[in-house]
Amino acid sequence: MTRAPVNPLDKSTVFSIFPREIDEIKYTIQPGRFIIPPGTYDHPSYLVVGPSSWWKEVDINQPLLEIPQSSIQIADSIIKDYCNGLLGSDMGQAKPGLFYVPGSVEPNVAKIQYREKFDEALDKQKKWYEILTKMADALWARSNGNPMTISEDMKLAARELGLTNKDWLKDHYTLQMIRCKACQQLVSDTVIVCPNCKVILRPDDFSRLDLKFAGDSVRDR
C-alpha cells in the first residue's frame, strides 16, 4: 500500500491540558499512532497531525483504493476515540481538556488566538474531575474502603482538585484483603465487622471501642 502525495498544507494541531500522556493507536489508517505528552493549562502540550489514509478493496484484480482522511478528521477522531472510553466522560460538558484547531499552531500563539477554547477545555476537565471524585466517594463507601475500586484517573482528579484529604487517595499499598471466616467475602484487614454478614471479625477492637449495632437499642427497650 503506497500513499499518494500528501498535501503539505493540510495540518491541524491537537492541544492538551490533560496531565497524562496520550498514546492513541488506530490500526486501520496510516499513519496511525499519535502521542501527545502531558500538558497543563499554563503549559499545554500539542501534536501537529496531517492527513492519514485507509484502503478499500474494490476489485480483486485492481489495487486497493486509497481513502484519504483530512487532518481535521484525524484530529477529531484522536480526541473522540480517547475520551469516549473514559469513565465519567460524557463527551460534552465533562471530559479531558483536549481540543484541536486547524493549521500548525504553536502553543504561545494558540493561547492568544484561542483563549476561549483553553478556558472551555479547563472547565470541562474540572467537571469531569468532579464526577470522578464523586464516583470514588461512592465506590469507597460501598466497598468498605477497598482501594482496588479506585482508578488512577480518580486519584488524578482528586489531586488536581486539591482534595488531598480523601481517604482513598492515601497510600494503600500495605493494605491487605482477607476473607470473612463466615461468608468468605473479601474485606480489608482493618474491618471490625463484616459488611456482608455482620460477623464480628475483630472482637477485641469491637469491645474496646464499645460498638453497638443499630438494632441493639431497639431490642433493649
**What's the mean pLDDT in 138-157?**
89
Are residues 183 and 109 located together in one domain of the fold? no
The confidence band for 21, taking pLDDT boundaries of 50, 70 and 90, is very high
The confidence band for 101, taking pLDDT boundaries of 50, 70 and 90, is very high
Are residues 59 and 154 located together in one domain of the fold? yes
Are residues 50 and 95 located together in one domain of the fold? yes
Among the candidates 156, 172, 188, a domain finishes at 172
Cα of 34 vs its chain's centroid, Å: 17
Are residues 134 and 110 located together in one domain of the fold? yes
Q: Which residue has the higher pLDDT, 1 or 92?
A: 92
Spell out the residues 6+ positions from residue 34 whose beta carbon is closer than 8 angstroms to its own: 14, 22, 23, 24, 25, 26, 47, 49, 74, 78
Q: Is residue 118 part of a domain?
A: yes
Are residues 32 and 64 located together in one domain of the fold? yes
Are residues 208 and 159 located together in one domain of the fold? no
Q: Is residue 159 part of a domain?
A: yes
Instruction: Report pLDDT for 187.
Output: 80
Are residues 102 and 196 located together in one domain of the fold? no
Q: Is residue 218 part of a domain?
A: no
Q: Is residue 21 part of a domain?
A: yes
pLDDT at 172 over 90: no
CA dist., res. 74 & res. 181, Å (int): 55
Are residues 11 and 30 located together in one domain of the fold? yes
Are residues 11 and 87 located together in one domain of the fold? yes
**What's the mean pLDDT in 95-107?**
96
Q: Is residue 219 part of a domain?
A: no
Instruction: Report pLDDT for 218.
Output: 44
Q: Is residue 220 part of a domain?
A: no
Instruction: Report pLDDT for 69.
Output: 95
pLDDT at 120 over 80: yes
Look up the domain containing 189 and give its range. 176-212
Are residues 102 and 199 located together in one domain of the fold? no
Q: Where are the alpha helices (DSSP H) in 85-215?
A: 107-113, 115-142, 152-160, 203-208
Are residues 105 and 198 located together in one domain of the fold? no
Instruction: Report pLDDT for 173.
Output: 47
pLDDT in tens, 50-62: 999 999 988 888 8
Are residues 40 and 148 located together in one domain of the fold? yes
Instruction: Report pLDDT for 167.
Output: 86
| Structural domains of the chain, count | 2
